[in-house]
Amino acid sequence: MTEPTLHTLDVPGALLTYDVRPNDSSAEPTLLLIGSPMGASGFGTLAGYFTDRTVVTYDPRGVERSKRTDGATESTPDMHADDLRRLIAALDAGPVDIFASSGGAVNALALVARHPKQIHTLIAHEPPTAQVVPDREAALAANADIHETYLRRGFGPAMAKFLMLVGHKGPLPDDYTDRPAPDPAMFGLPAEDDGSRDDPLLGQNIVSCTHYEPDFDALRKASSRIVIAAGTESEGELAHRGAIGVADGLGTAPVMFPSGHGGFLGDEYGQPGAPEAFASTLRAVLTAKT
């Protein structure tokens, strides 16, 4: 596999870092692999299945190597979308293909709504769009509660709530946030507060991402091809249900991908999915005519 070359890009409020795995002989569109708050380090395995084209990965603002310069404590999908717009322009690669997962899928939907001419095909995998699920109010409240817990009590208690939420199957009950909080020790997390409040998930992105409502009118009119994807093993989870809600809003059917929310992962974080099968499905969807 071609070794990635490291690049940086100044954008308003941040210095982005991104990696390019070039294939100058390919006629295929450049492929961006993006997440949020997952950075480039989560896409090494998946990138290895696409050596026949140029692949770009990046760290969103405030994540890993991409440093914020504005001192802000929140990142919104529109901010991330503008960062991606500037990144694609810097690549000078023409309309690109994008595989975007989780919060990255939310950000990519914001990008296509505003700048569709930059994107040939978007595959949006499990966007956690709480605004479009039937239990909207409970889902929005649960995500806001995680952020508020982080501000009050720190990383461990908030992350425990996050893990409980993302693993919950089915609609959230109306009293979900009134139920006893999980013990961080159940997940091997610290209960003590180290005083930090700069976590990109719990501090910067969780509310703005999950509370984002896609501009369905703009997306339906976009010249870009938009495919919504969901995992075969994550049915009932909030991100899977968000994908169903976005597909419904677009008037399309979601495409099922192998494994669950992290189905494309290899050994990056010790929780591998089914990356070979996932990459095969991704390739098939990218090359489909419609």
Domain-wise residue ranges, the chain: 5-129+212-287, 136-206
E strand spans, 29-114: 31-34, 55-59, 67-68, 96-101
**pLDDT per residue over 268-285, tens digit each?**
998 999 999 999 999 999
What length does the chain have? Answer: 290
How distant is the alpha carbon of residue 200 from its chain centre?
Answer: 12
**pLDDT per residue over 129-145, tens digit each?**
999 999 999 999 999 99
pLDDT category at 2 given cuts 50, 70, 90 is confident
- Which pLDDT score is estimated for 191? 93
On whether the CB atoms of residues 212 and 79 are closer than 8 A, the answer is no
Percent of the chain topping pLDDT 70? 99
Phi, psi of 169 (to 5 degrees): -100, 130
- Which pLDDT score is estimated for 3? 85
Q: CB 170: neighbour CB atoms within 10 A?
A: 11
- Which pLDDT score is estimated for 56? 98
pTM: 0.97
Q: At what angle do helices 136-153 and 155-167 cross, to 10 degrees?
A: 160
Distance from C-alpha of 80 to C-alpha of 104, rounded to nearest angstrom: 9
On whether the CB atoms of residues 250 and 226 are closer than 8 A, the answer is yes
Percent of the chain topping pLDDT 90? 95
Asked whether the predicted pLDDT for residue 290 surpasses 90, the reply is no
Distance from C-alpha of 261 to C-alpha of 232, rounded to nearest angstrom: 9
Distance from C-alpha of 8 to C-alpha of 10, rounded to nearest angstrom: 7
Measure the CA angle with vertex 28, ends 60 and 114; round to 5°: 45
Q: Are strands 14-21 and 67-68 parallel, antiparallel or unpaired?
A: antiparallel
Give the mean pLDDT of 155-162: 98
CATH 3.40.50.1820 fits 5-129+212-287, yes or no: yes
Asked whether the predicted pLDDT for residue 179 surpasses 70, the reply is yes
